[in-house]
Amino acid sequence: MPYILGLNSGSSFDGVDAVLCTIDLAEDGHPSRPKYVDGLSVDWPADLQPLILRAFTNDLTIFDLCRVNYAAGALFAEAANALLAKVGLKPEDIDVIGYDGQTIYQEPPDRPKEAAFLQSGSTSLVERWTKGGLPCGLFIVESGVVAALTNITTVTQFRPIDHALGGSGAPLMQYLDFCAFRNEAPIVTLNIGGIANLQLADSDRHKMMAFDTGPGNVMIDHVIKARLNRSYDKNGDVAAKGKVIPTLLSRLQTHEFFLRKPPRSAWRLDFGAEYADQILQDYKTASTENLVATFTYFTAWSIEKSVVDFILPKAPVTKVIASGGGTKNATLMNLLRDKLPSHGVQLCVSDEYGLPAPYKEAIKFATLAFACKNQLANNIPAACGASAFAILGKMSFAPRLAKNGGEVPESL
């Protein structure tokens, strides 16, 4: 059974996770549920993290971003190598590394604009993006650097092919959920990263759904950083001391994002620094505790609303399996445990299924990479709106696999 290694730095941008799993192909030709072996997390270096934060706000030159892209690849390679050292494995023991890269910019599809373009009868491929509203994104962490510095074949950049086929390219958790839960479907999973998303898994991929519910931790983390100079609200302790601000909650609930129907995706353009900073300015006299309590309640509300509006009308699910860094926020999880049962839905965590909640996103990318290497369709068109099944991912081969190279002169 091959070893696969997954890496992840998500929209929370709170570190790089590395996870080692084993996986195999089941009798139906699809990957089996990955089996977790070990994992670790590393922090972003103090001299690199601020540069990427500047890139999020389009405040970094393309020349600087070029070097950051390579440096981030080196960090991901360090995380992978540290995990190999921890478990006592060599590069040749690993089948593939998978990660998506750090999202710098993501633009969701403009469905009305896309429909108008199709009706225009234009056959221009270029105009699909200049006039047609198709989605796009920029995802860094150079895979060639990771493959070279780990000597392991590396697969990354899973979203662009889905984009080119008209899909939203986000979220991507649904493929892992199909592999992991297709024999227990229908079942719903919830991932709470910087952005939160829901997936309806089914043995019939044509019945699946996947979409972002709205913010996960991103706005909470922003306030904690701005007001307390800390990375996140540990255990939800700050939120637990505050009270919801009704006027602010009403404002948040009228965000334009909630007018979109699945498949939909959110990014920092929706709930990122600019939006959060405006709220901080408008509510500068509000306490940090009350602001964080309101944002935390807003995240729980948006998840509940998405389950009720889009999942329950489609499938009689009774369980939501949660993962992601947000599962460590006790206040948020308690809100969800209070809200969901009134709709006949219970909340549990993915650890109960052998998929550790903090590492599930990294396991997702390892699984996508394994599928890519085996030329398996690893997108879910019904979930993201793509026009066809496809093999997502770009592959950089390990240098050790090069043929006909010969010896390198000592002078080099």
Nearest to 331 by CA among 370, 294, 356: 294
Q: How far apart are CA 71 and CA 77, in angstroms?
A: 10
DSSP per-residue codes, 267-283 = -HHHHSHHHHHHHHHHT
For residue 286 the two structure tokens come to 């509000």
pTM, two decimals, is 0.91
* Tens of each residue's pLDDT in the chain, 412 residues: 899 999 999 766 778 999 999 999 999 999 999 999 999 999 999 999 999 989 988 999 999 999 999 999 999 999 999 999 999 999 999 999 999 989 999 888 888 999 999 999 999 999 999 999 999 999 999 999 999 999 999 999 999 999 999 999 988 999 999 999 998 878 999 999 989 999 999 999 999 999 999 999 999 999 999 999 998 999 999 999 999 999 999 999 999 999 998 988 887 678 988 899 999 999 999 999 999 999 999 999 999 999 999 999 999 999 999 999 999 999 999 999 999 999 999 999 999 999 999 999 999 999 999 999 999 999 999 999 999 999 999 999 999 999 998 887 776 5
Residues 6+ apart with CB under 8 A from 258: 214, 302, 305
Residues contacting 146, CB < 8 A, separation 6+: 7, 73, 76, 77, 80, 97, 99, 152, 154, 156, 396
Task: Please give the Cα distance from 283 to 74 (Å, whole number).
Answer: 40
Residue 263, preceding peptide bond in cis (omega within 30° of 0): yes
Q: Quick one: angle between helices 288-306 and 330-339, nearest 10?
A: 40
265: nearest Cα among 194, 218, 211, 302? 211
- CATH code of 3-170+359-401, in short, is 3.30.420.40
Distance from C-alpha of 194 to C-alpha of 168, rounded to nearest angstrom: 18
Q: What angle do CA 183, 186, 192 make, to 5 degrees?
A: 105
Q: Which part of the chain is CATH 3.30.420.40?
A: 3-170+359-401, 181-353
Question: Token pair of 196, please?
Answer: 């939160």
Of 136, 199, 205, 213, nearest in space to 169 by CA: 136
Peptide bond connecting 91 to the previous residue in cis, omega within 30 degrees of 0 = no
Q: Which residues of 278-310 are buried (b: 16+ CB within 10 A; e: fewer)?
A: ebbeebeebebbbbbbbbbbbbbbbbbebbeeb
Q: Which two tokens stand for residue 390?
A: 């496809």
Radius of gyration over every alpha carbon of the chain, rounded to an integer in angstroms: 21
> Check: CATH 3.30.420.40 for 181-353?
yes
